[in-house]
Homo-oligomer: A and B are copies of this chain.
Amino acid sequence: MDTIGFEPHDHSSCIHDCIAAVDTQCRTAGLQFTPVRRRVLEILLQEHRALGAYEILDRLREEGLGSQPPVAYRALDFLVKNGFAHKIERLNAFIACTHPGEHHAPVFLICRACDAVAESQREPTQGQLGQAARDAGFVIERAVIEAEGLCPKCQQAGAA
C-alpha cells in the first residue's frame, strides 16, 4: 500500500515529472494534451490539494486561458477520465493524481483541518467492501473511498 501526500517532498520536480509522465502517456495513447489541459494539471499539482472547479477557472481567467465554466470542466473531465486527476466527491473538488496512468483504485485521506489530501491505492473488490458486494450479488465497477480525519501534522498541532 502506497501513500503519498503528507510527507514533505521536492515539489517542483514532482510537478515536472508528473507533467512529463502524462505527456508521454498522452502521446502513446493518442490523446491531446492541450495547453488548457496541461495548465489545469499544473495548477492542481502546484497546489497539491483539492481545488474547486471555479478556483481553477479563476486561475485560467487570470492567465487568459478561458473564462467560462465549461473550459474548466472540460479540462477536468479529460484529466479525470484518463486517470490524471481525481474528483473528491466529499469536497466537490479535484486533485492531481499521484500515480498517473497506473491501474486505478484510489483511496483518499482528507485532513479536515488543513485540507491536505493523500492518495493511496487499494483493490476495492477485495476486503470488506468486496465481501459486502459479493454478499449482495452486486458487481462493483467503481468505488469512491474518502476518509476524513486528521493528518499527522494537524494532530500534533492539537487541532482536536
Interface residues of A (CB under 8 A from B): 1, 3, 5-6, 89-90, 107, 109, 111-112, 118, 120, 122-124, 126-129, 131-133, 135-152, 155
Kindly identify which residue among B3, B122, B128, B145 contacts A144, using a CB–CB cutoff of 8 Å: B145
Chain B contacts for A132, CB-based, 8 A: 1, 3, 107, 109, 120, 122
Q: Summarize A's interface: helix, strand, loop or mixed.
A: mixed
Chain B contacts for A129, CB-based, 8 A: 107, 122, 127, 145, 147
Kindly identify which residue among B6, B123, B143 contacts A148, using a CB–CB cutoff of 8 Å: B143
- Please, how many angstroms separate the alpha-carbon atoms of A5 and B135 in the complex? 12
* Contact yes or no, B135 A3, CB < 8 A: yes
- Please, how many angstroms separate the alpha-carbon atoms of A118 and B139 in the complex? 12
- Please, how many angstroms separate the alpha-carbon atoms of A117 and B44 in the complex? 32
Chain B contacts for A128, CB-based, 8 A: 1, 107, 122-123, 126-127
* Contact yes or no, A145 B148, CB < 8 A: no
Which residue of B has the minimal Cβ distance to A130?
A: B147
Chain B contacts for A143, CB-based, 8 A: 145-148
Which residue of B has the minimal Cβ distance to A132?
A: B120
* Contact yes or no, B152 A1, CB < 8 A: no
